Structure 1
Amino acid sequence: MKAIKVSVAQLTPKLGDKQHNLQLISDAMIEAKGDRADLIVFPELFLTGYSVGDDLDRMAETEEGQGMTEIKKLCVEHGLYAVISFPEKGESGQFYISSALIDNNGDVLGIYRKTHLFDKEKVHFTPGSEFKVIETPIGKMGLMICFDVEFPEIARSLKLQGADFIVIVNANMYPYELHHHLFSRVRAMENEIPVIICNRLGVEGDLEFCGDSMVIDATGNILLEMKQAVGVRTVDMPIEQQLDPKMSYTANRRAELYSKLAKH
């Protein structure tokens, strides 16, 4: 059974303090390296904190920005792949909620821009327009961000594009903890694909973030469940495993019947 070792960093960033958050990232990578992880995943907008909308002119970066450059160096130093989320300044000055996949050579292999914006995110951010599957030596990785998990079409699209597993970076808050707990397991089960979902903790204004980061295998079995624990946890996640041949959801699809889904 082919597997990779995944570290999940369920932590609390400090809003607007990149240096503090970079230190958290560095410390987490040291711990993940000690656990011999291949990949470490951080929550949504971890570089800056979540409620950064009013300060995007100052806080947003490109992939060549100061904060992202420091994270690339950390990936090289610790020999890790990392999925890190940040407010991205786009080519025409618009802003995106983005997650970058950085390899152990410090190269950005791809950036996913959140396609389904939640609530007040729509005031400050532009939605992305592309689903991303990124091929790496540790597997083909599909990327999603938070609210995306509530739309089954995205995970199915990533599966059909050949993803070996899905990484979801989260800033999910109460009272929506049950939504993501259930949806992430269902996305894994209905697509027969492993799912990593990394959420944060802490409070920003009237938002209280609910944790419950998990690593889930292709049958929906929870391999790692952090609930409200603070810290970095590591687990072996199979990306090739025995599946029930009677299910084979992808093979049993009736795509010719689904065209109306894209028209409404």
Structure 2
Amino acid sequence: MTYPTTAGPLPAAPLHVAAVQAEPVPGDVAGNAGTAARLVGRAADDGARVVVLPELFLPAYHPPTLAADPDGTDVAAADDGEVVDPRLDPLRTVARDRRTVVVVGASVRHPDGRRTCSALVLDGAGRVHSGYAKQQLWGPDENALFTPGRCGATLLVDGWRLGLGICYDGCFPEHGRAAAVDGAHGYLCPSGYLVGSEHRRDLYYRARALDNTMYVVFANAVGGAQPWRFNGGAAVYDPEGRVLHRAPDSGEAVVVGRFDPAELHRVRDAHRMLADRLPDQGGVRTLLTG
């Protein structure tokens, strides 16, 4: 017996998606939103329809600042997830003017008091929503600051289904697989990888692409001061885990990859891990020798 590869038909047309790396200023949500807006404009100039920026880019991934100034580093979400914050106006404007979908990391305060490490999604009309909250929190700092997300999320853009993950989520094969089972053609991962983690950074997201025969977009921060120095390497991977485009380990960069439905079909036809997966891998059998 086989199982469906996707929840629906493959997209009809290619999609250009950008991965961004840059250095935000800890605690400066307004300034970082301005930097993000500039980089989104640059990506749009290169043809990007979707732009992915790093984890916690708006407040910066700097746990001491996040702990000391929650009011200044959080953005507030309404019951329906909408975020209205004037500090984000430059980002809203460029998303609207360039008809670009933006995924950017933020610290989000919810009406019930939860604080989550989230991916905001700005649509082509400039509306801002808390799109996804990180489910797999990493280390004592994140667990002290945030509440884990409750479910996954899939973004639909021009017929492309794009699963959302944040950094440590992508280290779990189950997370990317859940997105693929939901029909994802691509997996977008705002991230914050520290200097010294280059091998794991480059391996995890290539593996998620190959495991699930889907495109993967990895955005990462750069710069910062020890112990919070980040190592760049923003990349777009194809459905066989090959590098389409990759940024260097330092310096600001924007890389744009082309998601091709014909290539997606070719790879999924040749490498059928999704279609051939078993509903149950079975229990563990103990073998005795003597």
TM-score (norm 2): 0.84
The answer to whether the aligner puts 1:105 opposite 2:116 as a matched pair is: no
Paired residues of 2:213 and 2:271 also in contact (CA < 8 A):
no
Residue 60 (structure 2) aligned to one of 49, 62, 84: 49
Residue 234 (structure 1) aligned to one of 240, 256, 264: 256
C-alpha displacement at 1:175, in angstroms?
2.1
The answer to whether the aligner puts 1:38 opposite 2:26 as a matched pair is: no
AA of the residue aligned to 1:32:
A
C-alpha displacement at 1:239, in angstroms?
4.2
Q: Secondary structure in 2 aligned to 1:40? A: strand
Match of residue 196 from structure 1: 217
The answer to whether the aligner puts 1:158 opposite 2:171 as a matched pair is: no
Match of residue 254 from structure 1: 278
Paired residues of 1:201 and 1:209 also in contact (CA < 8 A):
yes
Q: Using the alignment, how far apart are the partners of 2:117 and 2:94 within structure 1?
A: 22
Paired residues for 1:92-241 under 5 Å: 92-108=112-128, 111-119=131-139, 120-228=141-249, 229-241=251-263
Q: Using the alignment, how far apart are the partners of 1:259 and 1:70 within structure 2?
A: 54
Q: Using the alignment, how far apart are the partners of 1:138 and 1:244 within structure 2?
A: 17
Cα distance change of structure 1 residues 34 and 138 upon mapping to structure 2, 3 Å threshold: farther
Q: Secondary structure in 1 aligned to 2:199? A: helix
Q: Secondary structure in 1 aligned to 2:117? A: strand
AA of the residue aligned to 1:53:
L
C-alpha displacement at 1:259, in angstroms?
7.9
Q: Using the alignment, how far apart are the partners of 2:184 and 2:191 within structure 1?
A: 19
Identity of aligned residues (%): 23
AA of the residue aligned to 1:236:
R
The answer to whether the aligner puts 1:78 opposite 2:116 as a matched pair is: no
C-alpha displacement at 1:70, in angstroms?
4.2
Q: Secondary structure in 1 aligned to 2:188? A: strand
C-alpha displacement at 1:215, in angstroms?
0.1
Q: Secondary structure in 2 aligned to 1:206? A: coil
Structure 2 residues not aligned, in runs of 5+: 1-11, 77-82, 285-290
Q: Using the alignment, how far apart are the partners of 1:245 and 1:235 within structure 2?
A: 22
C-alpha displacement at 1:136, in angstroms?
2.5
Q: Secondary structure in 2 aligned to 1:22? A: helix
Residue 59 (structure 1) aligned to one of 67, 73, 80: 73
AA of the residue aligned to 1:100:
L
After alignment, is 102-111 or 133-142 more displaced?
102-111
Q: Using the alignment, how far apart are the partners of 1:150 and 1:254 within structure 2?
A: 22
C-alpha displacement at 1:101, in angstroms?
2.0
Q: Using the alignment, how far apart are the partners of 1:14 and 1:31 within structure 2?
A: 20
Structure 1 residues not aligned, in runs of 5+: none
TM-score (norm 1): 0.91
Paired residues of 1:15 and 1:204 also in contact (CA < 8 A):
no
After alignment, is 67-76 or 46-55 more displaced?
67-76
Larger Rg: 2
The alignment yields a C-alpha RMSD, in angstroms, of: 1.9
After alignment, is 66-75 or 189-198 more displaced?
66-75
AA of the residue aligned to 2:70:
L
Paired residues of 1:76 and 1:105 also in contact (CA < 8 A):
yes
Q: Secondary structure in 2 aligned to 1:158? A: helix
Q: Using the alignment, how far apart are the partners of 1:2 and 1:38 within structure 2?
A: 12
